[in-house]
């Protein structure tokens, strides 16, 4: 029970800005636990975003601005962790060589590619959440947000299994929780998605989320020669948007 509690605490600390009692987490030493329990942290973020969506709709806002508040809540709770990775990867792709791409990714300044990626990702999220609210209603749209967030978090660790670190230092070089922990997280995320949205929508979300993460991994292998922390974040962000797309496409 304590080990399970610590794993969830590590996942919440790793993926969110929510407070966690210091005695309940082992920090980076608990990375395996964070990977295994990552869908729980994702589900929590999804529930908070769904609560913002539901309250906004109940206050009389139409779906588009309600979806903006849902995206705002998710961004604040997560600290824009995956959006930052997506922006850095997009900026890095503008480099002419592998070394230059990695150098650009380390630059804290936001470039044109990164800005465009951020804008498009947020617009897509708001559009998808708004459409889910119209098609499903607030309660089922909240479950869809939970499912997408739970699916995407363990996929953040998939690049660490399939790629070598692109550089010998940095978070990406040490973020290798192992196949068993990542596999456990993937299984829990898939189970949560299926339970929350049903077989048809759940399978669509799982398939598209996996394909999106695989696309990021293939791009990182070709352009960066391996994974970094930013690549892991970009994989999670792309997977969550793809899962939301699959959920909307399969929604009745």
Mean pLDDT by 10 residues, the chain (252 residues): 78 91 64 90 98 98 98 96 95 94 91 96 98 98 98 96 84 71 96 97 98 98 95 97 98 82
The CA distance from 132 to 142, in Å, is: 9
The pLDDT score that the predictor gives to residue 26 is 62
Q: Could you report the per-residue pLDDT of 39-75, keeping only the tens digit for each?
A: 999 999 999 999 999 999 999 999 999 999 999 999 9
The answer to the question of residue 138 being in a domain is yes
Helix 63-78 with 112-136: angle, nearest 10 deg: 120
The answer to the question of residue 24 being in a domain is no
**Domain residue limits at 163:** 2-16+31-250
The pLDDT score that the predictor gives to residue 191 is 98
Q: Are 71 and 125 in contact (CB under 8 A)?
A: yes
The pLDDT score that the predictor gives to residue 25 is 65
Burial of 123 (0-12, 13-18, 19+ CB in 10 A): exposed
| Residues facing residue 171 across a β-bridge | none
The pLDDT score that the predictor gives to residue 74 is 97
The answer to the question of residue 170 being in a domain is yes
Q: Are 215 and 92 in contact (CB under 8 A)?
A: no
pTM: 0.94
* CB burial string 29-53: b at 16+ within 10 A, e below: ebbbbbbbbbbbbbbbbbbbbbbbb
**Quick one: CA dihedral 110, 116, 117, 119, positive or negative?**
positive
Q: Are 148 and 205 in contact (CB under 8 A)?
A: yes
Within 10 angstroms of residue 210's Cβ, the number of other Cβ atoms is 18
The pLDDT score that the predictor gives to residue 174 is 57
The CA distance from 39 to 43, in Å, is: 6
The answer to the question of residue 181 being in a domain is yes
The pLDDT score that the predictor gives to residue 45 is 98
The answer to the question of residue 242 being in a domain is yes
Task: Domain count for the chain, please give it.
Answer: 1
The pLDDT score that the predictor gives to residue 173 is 58
Q: Are 2 and 114 in contact (CB under 8 A)?
A: no
Residue with tokens 């993937």: 186
Q: Supply 92's token pair.
A: 């890095």
The answer to the question of residue 74 being in a domain is yes
The answer to the question of residue 26 being in a domain is no
The answer to the question of residue 23 being in a domain is no
């Amino acid at each position: 029970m304590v080990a399970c509690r610590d794993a969830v605490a590590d996942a919440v600390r790793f993926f969110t800005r929510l407070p966690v009692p210091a005695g309940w987490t082992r920090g980076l030493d608990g990375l395996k636990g964070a990977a295994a329990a990552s869908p729980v942290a994702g589900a929590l973020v999804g529930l908070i975003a769904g609560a913002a969506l539901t309250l906004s709709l109940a206050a009389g806002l139409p779906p588009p601005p309600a979806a903006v508040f849902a995206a705002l809540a998710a961004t604040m709770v997560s600290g824009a962790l995956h959006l930052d990775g997506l922006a850095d990867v997009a900026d890095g792709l503008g480099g002419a060589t592998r070394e230059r791409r990695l150098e650009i990714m380390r630059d804290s300044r936001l470039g044109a590619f990164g800005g465009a990626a951020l804008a498009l990702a947020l617009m897509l999220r708001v559009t998808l959440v708004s459409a889910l609210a119209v098609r499903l209603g607030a309660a089922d749209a909240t479950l869809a947000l939970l499912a997408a967030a739970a699916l995407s978090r363990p996929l953040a660790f998939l690049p660490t299994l399939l790629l070598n670190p692109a550089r010998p230092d940095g978070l990406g070089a040490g973020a290798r929780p192992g196949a068993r922990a990542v596999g456990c997280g993937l299984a829990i995320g898939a189970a949560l998605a299926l339970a929350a949205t049903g077989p048809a929508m759940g399978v669509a979300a799982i398939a598209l989320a996996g394909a999106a993460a695989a696309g990021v991994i293939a791009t990182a292998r070709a352009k960066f020669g391996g994974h970094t922390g930013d690549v892991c974040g970009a994989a999670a962000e792309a997977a969550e948007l793809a899962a939301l797309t699959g959920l909307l496409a399969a929604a009745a």
